[in-house]
Structure 1
Amino acid sequence: MINFNGELLQENEASLSITNRGYAYGDSVFETIRVINGKVMFWEDHYFRLMASMRIMRMEIPNEFSPEFLEEQIINLIKENNLQDKPVRVKFSVFRKEGGLYTPEVRDIEYFILTSEIEHSFYTLNEDFYEVELFKDHYINAGLLSTIKTNNKAVNVLGGIFARENNYNNCLLVNEKKSVVEALNGNLFLVKGDRIKTPPLTDGALNGITRKQLVNMIKKLQEYNFEEVSISPFELQKADELFITNVIVGIQPISKYRKKEYTNTVAKDLLAKLNAKARLG
């Protein structure tokens, strides 16, 4: 079952028009959410990012879109799909109603919610070999639009194809200033000694939910010094650790970039703390 504008439908009963604005113009935003045994992880952060994304896209936010209403829509769908006792991946997509060409006729929105079961209730550290490379064919543009999750993901798609063609597990994306911004599917953190860095949102980095959780957490830890600062490609091979974060995998350590191989000690420590925070809500 899926939720389409508040109505529960079988997947084969739901359809989008070929003139859907999310498809035709990328006029859509979305949230990828992790739910554990019927509990939405970091729901407040997801909700406020979704509202901010809709405002940035100048969408009309329906009056009923309260945190309680949207959370209820998610939980009811999970129950309908008999996933209330499972770890679940939720995709909540919002798109502007049809009409117009580049300029929309209206600012009102529609939405759908999809659910799928995932493997682990809490984050586990994937210590399999994980190699990355820079993707330099196209750039992430530093600016507000790059910080939100929209359907405009051509750079990520092309980077994914490049990675697969060259047997990399992932690619790191750069902006027009040649600073490293993020990975294809998450934010990037760099560790050197007791210093941890991540690119600032002003460089075009996604305003990631797990990124936010880790930033707030690291700032409170005395054993680390934290910076939100631009990262040059030259710094990557001098780092002790690199890791990628997103709400589904938590923390993914990078094993190798070019000739440099990395440890995962800090990633392992932070993942344990992230799991503890998730359990506490």
Structure 2
Amino acid sequence: MFVSYNFRIIAEHDFGLSYANRGFQYNDGFFETLIWHQGKIRFLDDHLDRIKRAMQVLSLTQLPQLTASFLQTEANALIRQNTLDTESIRIKINIWRESGGLFTPESEEAEILITVAPQQPFPAVIGQADFYTGLPNRFTPFSFFKGPYALHYVQASLAKKKAGLDELILLDEQKNISECLVSNIFWIKNNQVFTPSLESGCIAGIMRLNVLRACQMLKIEVWEGFYTKSDLYAAEAVFTSNVTGLRPILYIGQKQFATNHPLVMQIEQLVLA
């Protein structure tokens, strides 16, 4: 396998990190997941915007190479080097601060690692979901991107596995709906779309953004806010969104929801066109 480390493609066995790496020592960095589909990175400009905003919040110097054209070219080269021949490929970008210092960094310069792997298929429908009762989500200046607060996602994933569930729904500190483990959450009632506010601590998902854009184009009324379990249970259909697409939820607890709602299909058709 080959990886791109600081924009240089090298063999995986030649890549290594120092014990002083700040991502390892202090979680001083973040990651971004993108989907390459049929020769093109999906929603690339939106991903780059979130990457740049995350770097700004973390006081990291912007990487001038991170342009749409350069990243597409780098991803294509990395895919060819790894001889990947699948329709969809997952691209992961890890960015962290250069080594140096304890809690107080000595640098604002960033390092970057880009890896690629075939995108594994997901079931079209999430069969059984429920609510996570462990660590709550919390809104911070860092909660819109992925990385700094991954521990509670790990713990929730362990709880999901132990319970034999297909998905868990995370709540905020006031027990409002926030998001799912690796996706944002939406629901439909009376031909209106509802989704938690970013202030619930959910990720500012790239697919979430494009679902909202699609609803605007389709003239579907959207409500972003703070919602409880009761609001979710009153829905006609519930679906999740992440870079891989949209997936309806069949059951939350004992409550069954529609998995073929026409609005969901319209939105999905538009965002994945």
- Contact kept in structure 2, 1:93 and 1:112, CA below 8 Å: yes
Using a 3 Å threshold, how does the CA distance of structure 1 residues 67 and 273 change in structure 2: closer, same or farther?
closer
Give the whole-Å Cα distance in 1 for the aligned partners of 2:65 and 2:252: 47
> Which residue of structure 2 aligns with residue 134 of structure 1?
131
Identity value in percent: 24
Q: How does 1:159-198 map to 2 (within 5 A)?
A: 159-198=156-195
- Contact kept in structure 1, 2:47 and 2:206, CA below 8 Å: yes
Of 192-201 and 64-73, the range deviating more from structure 2: 64-73
Match of 1:245 among 237, 241, 244: 241
Give the whole-Å Cα distance in 1 for the aligned partners of 2:242 and 2:148: 17
Give the whole-Å Cα distance in 2 for the aligned partners of 1:66 and 1:261: 44
Kindly indicate whether residue 231 of structure 2 is the aligned counterpart of residue 235 of structure 1.
Answer: yes
> Which residue of structure 2 aligns with residue 113 of structure 1?
114
1:18: how far off? 2.2
Match of 1:256 among 251, 256, 269: 251
- Contact kept in structure 2, 1:125 and 1:271, CA below 8 Å: no
Q: How does 1:185-224 map to 2 (within 5 A)?
A: 185-222=182-219, 224=220
Using a 3 Å threshold, how does the CA distance of structure 1 residues 62 and 148 change in structure 2: closer, same or farther?
same
Of 89-98 and 137-146, the range deviating more from structure 2: 137-146
**1:170-205 CA distance string (max 9 Å, x none):** 111111121111001010101112111111112212
Which amino acid in 2 is paired with 1:57? L
Give the whole-Å Cα distance in 2 for the aligned partners of 1:51 and 1:72: 19
- Contact kept in structure 2, 1:38 and 1:84, CA below 8 Å: no
Q: How does 1:31-46 map to 2 (within 5 A)?
A: 31-46=32-47
Using a 3 Å threshold, how does the CA distance of structure 1 residues 168 and 84 change in structure 2: closer, same or farther?
closer
Give the whole-Å Cα distance in 1 for the aligned partners of 2:25 and 2:265: 42
Q: TM-score, normalising length from structure 1?
A: 0.90
Q: How many residues align?
A: 270
Which amino acid in 1 is paired with 2:83? N
Give the whole-Å Cα distance in 2 for the aligned partners of 1:158 and 1:219: 35
Give the whole-Å Cα distance in 1 for the aligned partners of 2:85 and 2:160: 35
Give the whole-Å Cα distance in 2 for the aligned partners of 1:192 and 1:172: 19
> Which residue of structure 1 aligns with residue 151 of structure 2?
154
Give the whole-Å Cα distance in 2 for the aligned partners of 1:69 and 1:14: 22
Give the whole-Å Cα distance in 2 for the aligned partners of 1:82 and 1:212: 32
- Contact kept in structure 2, 1:147 and 1:201, CA below 8 Å: yes
Over 4 Å off, 4+ runs? none
Which amino acid in 2 is paired with 1:162? A
Unpaired segments ≥5 residues, structure 2: none
- Contact kept in structure 1, 2:142 and 2:148, CA below 8 Å: no
1:84: how far off? 6.3
